[in-house]
Chains A and B, each alone.
With several copies, the nearest count.
Chain A
Amino acid sequence: MEALQQIWQGSGLYQVTGDQIVMLGVCLGLLYLGIVRQFEPLLLIPIGFGGLLSNIPGAEIATGDGLLHLAYVVGIETGAFPLVIFMGVGALTDFGPLLANPRTLFLGAAAQFGIFATLLGALGLTELGLMNFSVREAAAIGIIGGADGPTAIYVAGQLAPDLLGAIAVAAYSYMALVPLIQPPIMKALTTEAERRTQMVQLREVAKAERILFPLLLILLVAMLLPSAAPLIGMLAFGNLMRECGVVERLSDTTQNALINIVTIFLGLAVGSKLQAEEFLVPSTLGILILGMIAFAIGTASGVLMGKLLNRLSSQPINPLIGAAGVSAVPMAARVVNKVGLDANPQNILLMHAMGPNVAGVIGSAVAAGIMIMFTS
């Protein structure tokens, strides 16, 4: 009888709290979004399942010696997982379109306005007494507007580990929601004629340019903004392995086995931050709302900068490609392409949008460096 009682008291049915039930539902929702709606499945499935495991009452998978907590300590507290993912992103990124048209870096710069506006918004909510975010936390929340998962996780791990779960979920969810969030904003800010603008074909980029670009990038960061060096450095290293042409085996492994392994454990480790007691707090709601606003503002600033560039430039620039400046690679570029095609069936913007798209990755890593420098 005592043994049966022990089983009963050890069971989830006995121990579970209402909050945990809510979180199990939320995690099943993330899995639904990943599997059925195919929203960023590579991250939402590990995060969702990790969250499921973390809310099993009494299992202690996400605390103490549990595997997910170990993954968090080893990979996220140290910053290693997001940095390795960034190396993989570098190995997977073709900077060719950016090199063919470097001015698109302005679009990647403008779209970072979402980051800083959201930082301000988070501090404003605190001033109004609605939320209670420190400057470090506000900075980490703002980075959601960078639309770049590993950057957001890296910054949150450094500046606001308590908010990491909500920030990561917001970042990946909104990146997945780009096809829903961006088009209305893009259409509201452009005229039909602007959306119809066709752009001249991109020039070819020499192999030497591709090899020198990551070196140039890291040297500039070294001289001007060393606090962005870890993120930009790993991105540049991955890209150099890709482009230099003499270490294909390292580049292949980085693009496949290595990034996949780290993605799995990064996702599970992020999931360990979805425990009910940490996640079901008012600030999570604030983060989700602020993150959405960050995305919207970033998109708008990108498009407006696109309009400005179009006026100033001798060659036509379709302002839609500014929306790709938030990053969310390659989803945002595809959305731009689709909205452009809707206005003009001859208008293939995909490659033109890849320039601001990868510029957005650099832009938000630079913004992350600024945040880290000023708040730590």
Chain B
Amino acid sequence: MIDQGLTLMLVGMGTVFVFLTILIVATSAMSEIVRRMTPAPIDRDPTADEVAAITAAIAQHRRQRT
């Protein structure tokens, strides 16, 4: 029975690792494909840098108008 348990442990952990490794590969590939097909994510928040740049641009625009 211990033998059966050892086999189950080896095969079991092996299967868990193999399955999750394949899942990692597949998920990474899927994410890569998705990101290539949708080049510019449009609904994310602007980063701090972008906010700064936009703020500066608006300020300059206002200065030019006045």
Contacts and interface: CB of A to CB of B under 8 A. Distances in A.
Whether A and B touch directly in their complex, counting CB atoms under 8 A apart, is answered as yes
Interface of A: 3-4, 7, 98-99, 102-103, 105-106, 108-109, 112-113, 115-117, 119-120, 122-124, 126-127, 135, 138-139, 204-209, 212-213, 216-217, 220, 224-225, 359, 362-363, 366-367, 370-371, 374
Interface string B20-59: 1111101110110011011001011000000000000000
Contact of B8 (A127, A216, A374): A374
Nearest to B28: A102
Contacts of A359: 20
Contacts of B15: 7, 225, 366, 370
A120 B2 CA distance: 7
Given A116-B9, A127-B1, A374-B8, A224 B30 contact: no
A236 B30 CA distance: 16
Nearest to B17: A109
Contacts of A102: 23-24, 27-28, 31
A324 to B, nearest CB: 15
Contacts of A109: 13, 16-17, 20-21
Interface residues on B, range: 20 to 34
Contact of A209 (B2, B13, B30): B30
B64 interface: no
B13 A113 contact: yes
18 contacts: A3-B8, A99-B27, A102-B28, A102-B31, A103-B24, A105-B24, A106-B21, A108-B20, A119-B12, A120-B2, A207-B43, A220-B19, A220-B22, A220-B23, A220-B26, A366-B16, A366-B19, A374-B11
Nearest to A115: B12
Contacts of A206: 31, 34-35, 38, 41
A374 B4 CA distance: 10
A160 to B, nearest CB: 15
A208 B34 contact: yes
Interface of B: 1-2, 4-9, 11-13, 15-17, 19-24, 26-28, 30-31, 34-35, 37-38, 41, 43-44
Contacts of B7: 3
A99 B22 CA distance: 14
A112 B2 contact: no
B2 A127 contact: yes
Contacts of B2: 120, 123-124, 127
Given A7-B11, A367-B16, A120 B38 contact: no
Contacts of B30: 209, 212-213, 216
B1 A135 contact: yes
Contacts of B17: 106, 109
The 10 closest A-B CB pairs, nearest first, are: A116-B9, A123-B5, A3-B11, A109-B20, A120-B5, A105-B20, A102-B27, A102-B24, A208-B34, A370-B12
